[in-house]
Amino acid sequence: MTKGENFKKITVVENKFEADLIAQSLKQEGIPFMIRTYHDTAYNGIFIPQKGWGAIMVPEKQEGQALDIIAELRKALKKKGDI
């Protein structure tokens, strides 16, 4: 990650399991990422059903590659019946 690099939200995940799978896939491909959870301790996660569990963010210049990786992962999970 270089200083001043702009990260962009590319998808919302429904739970920590999905976030961990996506993080592992992006890490394997060498794509820097951040996970921003929407859990708010003050409200004990009350907004998670509306917003999702969290957001995956990647550098703008790697958005396309990351979206392709996530789409393939979700396709494979859906085929297996995991989501």
Domain CATH number, residue 39: 3.30.70
* Predicted confidence (pLDDT) per residue in 58-69, tens digit: 999 999 999 999
Q: What is the DSSP string of 9-37?
A: EEEEESSHHHHHHHHHHHHHTT---EEEE
Q: How many domains does the chain have?
A: 1
Structural domain includes residue 2? no
Range of the domain at 58: 7-78
Structural domain includes residue 1? no
User: What pLDDT was estimated at residue 46?
Assistant: 64
* Predicted confidence (pLDDT) per residue in 7-59, tens digit: 999 999 989 999 999 999 999 999 999 999 876 666 666 655 667 889 999 99
pTM for the whole thing? 0.81
Structural domain includes residue 16? yes
The distance from CA 50 to its chain's CA centroid, rounded to whole angstroms, is: 16
